[in-house]
Amino acid sequence: MQSDREKNPELFFKAEKLCLRLLSVRQRSEKEIFDRLKFKGFGLSISKDVVGALRAGGLLDDKKFAEEWVDARLRMNPRSKSALEVELCAKGISIGTIEEVFAGRKKELEDRAIASKLIESKMLSDKDPIDIKKKAKVYRFLLSKGIDREIAEEMINEL
């Protein structure tokens, strides 16, 4: 039995070209690729063939994507471990893969370490003296990044 790749090579290569363009910008999860192909009107069988080919070629790897996502988030826009987990789940990464990626980064992903980094960046960007309004603003900021309430309160009280 012929695959859709063999039945309609033009359609397969059009879908593959779209995916390669997406992957040239940043690493993507398999779900992101499936969703984009669906949005562009490609059928399920063509999408499966393209994703399979990209995976076989080493261009699509959910674990590598998750590692890069966590690296970028911790470096550029820190979030709590739970917030990162929600983001990765939304991108179709399995819980097992997420736990595997988080396992090697226990210290980096502690809420206290992330909160400290966030407070430091917030304090550097705002030169106002630390008063009750400033503390409340930083507290809300920490909560918006997924930091646990108790840890946020402790960190604010240390200011």
- For residues 106 and 124, the model is more confident at 106
Q: pTM for the full model? A: 0.81
pLDDT tens digits, 68-90: 999 999 888 899 999 999 999 99
Q: What is the pLDDT of residue 5?
A: 63
Delimit the domains of the chain by residue range. Answer: 4-60, 63-103, 111-157
Domain 4-60 has CATH 2.30.110.10: no
- Residues 88 and 33: their CA atoms lie apart, in Å, by 14
